[in-house]
Copies of this chain bind each other. A is one copy, B any other.
Amino acid sequence: MDTLMSGIDVLISEVGPRDGLQSITSVMPTDAKKAWIAAEAAAGVREVEVGSFVPAKLLPQMADTAEVVSYARTIKGLKVAALVPNFKGAEAAIAAGAHKITLPLSVSETHSLKNLRKTHEEVFEEVRQIVALIKTLPVDRRPQFEGSLSTAFGCTLEGLIPEVTVVKLGERLVALGCDEVGLADTTGYANPAQVKSMIKSIWAAVGRDKLTGIHIHNTRGLGLANVLAALDVGLTTFDSSLGGLGGCPFAPGASGNIVTEDLVFMLDSMGLKTGIDLAALLKVRDIVKAAVPDEMYGFTPDAGVPKGYVQGGQGWGLGAAKMAAE
């Protein structure tokens, strides 16, 4: 979206209110979710995945997603995204006014059956119905519809899914009418070489404009290295979670989203513009900490920025700073 990328090099999509909160047992009060989202937007975050339209009995943490979407829509300049597991979820997301809806397709059919209780063909049928629904809407009210290839770099049940299989599933999603495909390293299995290879192969199959972002986990500590690899070949949108909420990767079974604060620090120190004020972002942690007892983490929050660090410049040690007088 052009307006989203205006003035920035990289779009960070905060997924903490969805991926973070759905991975913890505590239920965050709706007001705290709203305060969190508003504070991130005020810090310069331009896209937030605010929740998931799943049955409340499955994920009580997400029961208020419609209300949160409606609220988030009132924040100027914020793109409001939501996860939908199926057509019914998409209907609810559209009714609530989400700007973007993401339906995960687990490239591992075993995982798909276990997670969504659906075969690939059954998921494709949901995609077809969602595309048909979107087409009934006036053009200016149509949400962006992403089909996300989850477990794209390997599955804890099936192990590695061959790249050719992932690419074929991505082609299918685009053929069925998804505006774009997403790539998700749900299991934290990806490595930088694989990330580059996968992106290039998907681009070759469906075109560069159909894949712009990636959702990376830090389960094996390679999260930011994988971001760097994706950035290197030309991706410009990255998902991350404030404080890595939803599971410290040091704990077994953790989801291990990459930490928004560390991601912002890395990109900013490289001289890339994210539009996000790191100091303001660090303060948002207090809102989350006050609302849920779960541990937040992050290297940059603990260590602080380098002495003399100034945000938003040409990068630390780059540009004019390389040649500064002694």
| Docked complex Cα distance between A187 and B159 (Å) | 38
> Would you give the 0/1 interface string for A220-246, flagging 1 where the beta carbon is closer than 8 Å to chain B?
111011011100100000000000000
* Cβ of A75 under 8 Å from chain B: no
What residues on B are CB-neighbors of A162 within 8 Å?
A: 317, 321-326
Contact across chains for A251 and B163 when beta carbons are under 8 A apart: no
User: How many chain A residues touch B (Cβ–Cβ < 8 Å)?
Assistant: 67
Q: How far is the CA of A155 from the CA of B191 in the complex (A)?
A: 31
Partner among B232, B271, B316, B325 whose Cβ is within 8 Å of the Cβ of A189: B316
Q: Does A7 contact B (CB under 8 A)?
A: no
With an 8 A cutoff between CB atoms, is A160 at the interface?
A: yes
Q: Which residue of B lies closest to A307 (CB)?
A: B159
CB pair B160 A316 closer than 8 Å? yes
A249 touches B318 (CB 8 A): no
- In the complex the two chains form, is B262's CB within 8 Å of A220's CB? yes
Q: Does A59 contact B (CB under 8 A)?
A: no
Interface stretch among A12-20, A123-131, A136-144, A293-301?
A293-301
Query: Given the known A-B contacts A188-B303, A193-B270, A251-B302, are A159 and B308 also in contact in the complex, defined by CB atoms under 8 Å?
Result: yes
Residue A259 lies at the interface, judged by CB distance under 8 Å to chain B: yes
Alpha-carbon distance between A163 and B220 when the two chains are bound, in angstroms = 32
Q: Is A287 an interface residue (CB 8 A)?
A: no
User: Which residues A242-256 have CB closer than 8 A to chain B?
Assistant: 249-252, 254, 256
Known contacts: A163-B317, A191-B266. The answer to whether A303 contacts B220 by CB under 8 A is: yes
**A150 within 8 A of partner (CB):** no
CB distance from A95 to the nearest CB of B (A): 38
> Which among A187, A270, A306 has the highest number of chain B CB atoms within 10 Å?
A306
Q: Can you give 24 contacting A-B residue pairs, CB < 8 Å?
A: A154-B307, A154-B316, A155-B307, A158-B307, A162-B321, A163-B323, A164-B323, A190-B317, A191-B269, A191-B270, A193-B318, A197-B322, A198-B317, A219-B299, A220-B266, A221-B224, A222-B262, A222-B299, A224-B224, A224-B225, A249-B299, A250-B297, A250-B302, A254-B303
Q: Identify the 7 closest CB pairs spanning chains A and B, nearest first.
A: A159-B308, A221-B299, A191-B269, A194-B317, A163-B322, A193-B270, A224-B225
